[in-house]
Amino acid sequence: MNVVQFDRIEDRHLGRALSLQASQQPDATFIMFGEAHYSFAEVNQRVNELAAGLRELGLDKGDRVAFFMGSAPEVIFLALATNKLGGVWIPINGDYKGSWLSETINRSRPHILVTDSEHADRVGQVVADLEVAHLVAFGDAPGLPSAIPFGSLYRKGAAEPDLAGQSYGDTSAVLWTSGTTGRSKGVMQSHNVWFNAVETGDAQFGTRPGDVIYSVLPMYNSAAWVTSILRALIVGIPLAVDPVFSVSHFWERVDYYGATQSFTVGAMHMFLWNAAEKPDDGQHSLRKLMAVPIPPDIAGPFSKRFNLELMPQGLGQSECMQLVITAPGQPLPPPGSCGLPSPKLDARLVDDAGKDVPEGEAGELWVRPREPFAIFNGYFDDPEATRNAFEGEWYKTGDMLRKKADGYYYFADRKKDAVRLKGRNISTFEVEMVARRHPAIADCAAFGVPSEILDSETELKLNYILKPGKTLPPEELAQFINDNAPYFFVPRYLEQVEALPYTPTNKVQKFKLREAGITQGTWDAQKAGFKAER
């Protein structure tokens, strides 16, 4: 491990990183996927052969490859092959369907779309609406008869692509985020951002020879790449991948791979915590776990019960993966703190007028990079959104924090209008857009109410007004949303109301809805037995 140093700017490129690992530790294991194991040299050759096939399909520097797939080694091969050609990879959320899926794909403007047998039916339902030059299928896809078989793209014995002209600041990926006050935005991520995030995160894990990363995060999620996939690539240690998270088999799979490090998000670790205790809960190979977020009062008992070290919490987002962190060499932050701003950033906490707030008062976090390509490259095809995200050199994060007398930063709230549930930021704006498509809906407002599982997360609620003379049972509205959007857009709570609290400028005062919360008139999908279909 760590045989490759990335001090030279020209080496801070994901395709170059794979080539260097393959040349300096060719036989070392890179990826484990069940019984399938791949060394760095094997992965590099597969990536080169796949890159040759992609080039024959016309992929060139700056062109985009979108993938709508489950987690598998081939997704990693595809992303790195795209980068070796100077292209850009774009993950599409595996839960998307219908118009939401087709619109996201078309907004990505991909030259090539790759799907797999698990997702091919959904692509088939919208294929007539897609604007892509080439459609590729990994595995059986009877509903896509014109799709190119993924395996046919490999060109046996292909040489290394020429990386000349490619830079550490080039966009390597576009990551679609949840919309907040508007539609979703595509975050353009440079190669260098991944390297910065990996280096700081790995220093927290204190990686040593023999360490193995275990990942069960979906590969459309940027967390899977920065905490696991690209960390294994850049640091040079094995990555073990399972397609899904299983509470009942998590520890068994950890031991199967001999994994020593892992990362969980949302309520994943709380499900592990809430599982029935066993005498051997602490007998496994895992040494360190980054569980984000975890309640401070649970952290200590969790560490003791499962006999592992929990990594310190931090704060990041797709636009800036490392906002507030515990940097290498720093003491652990106080309970409840996110840490200190990244040393690669200048930071301010400001009020709505852009003025610095006093110590202890909540303000929006603004950051300014101290070096090139320390944060995102802007929003894809959206210069207006990019301009609106900045005030001069300062990026406005939309997150509210407090800086206390101890100098540490503490998360206060989200200024952005989003709901955090099961590790996802769900745009209330986008949920409302789907609900308003129903012909009976006059207006609606989506917002978050406290989760019963985790204090830091929220359940989704939608209050809606009907058009005169219309009726709409909550079950019907829930099914309509499920049919036209990802399953996690379906609110757990629905309530028909006569009016919504508007401001004089006709904006809904959602703080009043949050204060009212759950009422006697609220329909609860969970209690009603309604189950949203993926």
Which structure tokens are listed for 284?
């496994």
Indicate the number of domains in the chain: 3
Exposed (0-12), middle (13-18) or buried (19+): which is 57, by Cβ within 10 Å? middle
93 and 109 assigned to the same domain: yes
Read off the pLDDT band of 148 (50, 70, 90). very high
Asked if 114 and 68 touch (Cβ cutoff 8 Å), the reply is: yes
- Count other Cβ atoms within 10 Å, centred on residue 309: 14
Closest CA to 139 of 118, 121, 113: 118
Asked if 414 and 362 touch (Cβ cutoff 8 Å), the reply is: no
114 and 175 assigned to the same domain: yes
Reduced to 3 states (helix: H, G, I; strand: E, B; else coil), residue 200 is helix
Identify whether 215 is part of a domain: no
Closest CA to 385 of 219, 216, 180: 180
Q: State residue 2's pLDDT score.
A: 59
57 and 178 assigned to the same domain: yes
Identify whether 59 is part of a domain: yes
Residue 424 has pLDDT above 50, yes or no: yes
Residue 228 has pLDDT above 80, yes or no: yes
CATH of the domain at 408: 2.30.38.10
Residues present in the chain in total: 534
Identify whether 506 is part of a domain: yes
Identify whether 300 is part of a domain: no
Identify whether 355 is part of a domain: yes
Longest dimension (CA), the chain: 72
Asked if 365 and 410 touch (Cβ cutoff 8 Å), the reply is: no
Closest CA to 57 of 142, 148, 172, 123: 148
Among the candidates 173, 190, 207, a domain finishes at 190
Closest CA to 104 of 129, 137, 87, 73: 129
Helix H segments across 344-452?
Answer: 383-388, 428-435
pLDDT in tens, 95-119: 888 888 999 999 999 999 999 999 9
379 and 496 assigned to the same domain: no
Q: State residue 528's pLDDT score.
A: 96
Q: What mean pLDDT comes out for the span 180-206?
A: 86
Which structure tokens are listed for 195?
């390297």
Which structure tokens are listed for 126?
């919208």
Asked if 150 and 144 touch (Cβ cutoff 8 Å), the reply is: no
Give the rounded distance of the alpha carbon of 499 from its chain centre.
35
pLDDT in tens, 252-301: 999 999 999 999 987 789 889 989 999 999 999 999 999 987 877 788 99
Which structure tokens are listed for 298?
């649970």
CA distance 505 to 528: 37
Read off the pLDDT band of 506 (50, 70, 90). low
Identify whether 444 is part of a domain: yes
Among the candidates 156, 190, 224, a domain finishes at 190
47 and 181 assigned to the same domain: yes
The mean-pLDDT minimum among 69-78, 144-153, 314-323 falls in 314-323
Exposed (0-12), middle (13-18) or buried (19+): which is 428, by Cβ within 10 Å? buried
CATH of the domain at 453: 3.30.300.30
Q: State residue 298's pLDDT score.
A: 85
399 and 340 assigned to the same domain: yes
Q: What mean pLDDT comes out for the span 152-168?
A: 97
CA distance 108 to 93: 12
Residues above pLDDT 90, as percent of the chain: 75
- Count other Cβ atoms within 10 Å, centred on residue 133: 12
Q: Which residues pair with 363 in a beta bridge?
A: 401
Residue 180 has pLDDT above 50, yes or no: no
pLDDT in tens, 232-242: 999 999 999 99
CATH of the domain at 67: 3.40.50.980
Residues above pLDDT 70, as percent of the chain: 95
Asked if 41 and 26 touch (Cβ cutoff 8 Å), the reply is: yes
Distance from the first to the final alpha carbon of the chain: 39
pLDDT in tens, 116-135: 999 999 999 999 999 999 99
391 and 433 assigned to the same domain: no
pLDDT in tens, 291-350: 987 877 788 999 999 999 998 878 888 999 989 988 767 777 887 788 999 999 999 999
Among the candidates 367, 399, 414, a domain finishes at 414
Q: State residue 274's pLDDT score.
A: 87
379 and 500 assigned to the same domain: no
Cis link prior to 293 (omega < 30° from 0)?
Answer: yes
CB within 8 A of 266, min separation 6: which ones? Answer: 421, 422, 423, 424, 454, 457
- Count other Cβ atoms within 10 Å, centred on residue 263: 25
Q: Does 421 or 357 have the greater pLDDT score?
A: 357
CA distance 477 to 438: 8
Q: State residue 158's pLDDT score.
A: 98
Gyration radius from the chain CA atoms: 23
462 and 426 assigned to the same domain: yes
Exposed (0-12), middle (13-18) or buried (19+): which is 240, by Cβ within 10 Å? buried
* DSSP state letter for 162: P
Q: State residue 181's pLDDT score.
A: 43
Domain that holds residue 66: 40-190
Strands 363-369 and 345-350: antiparallel
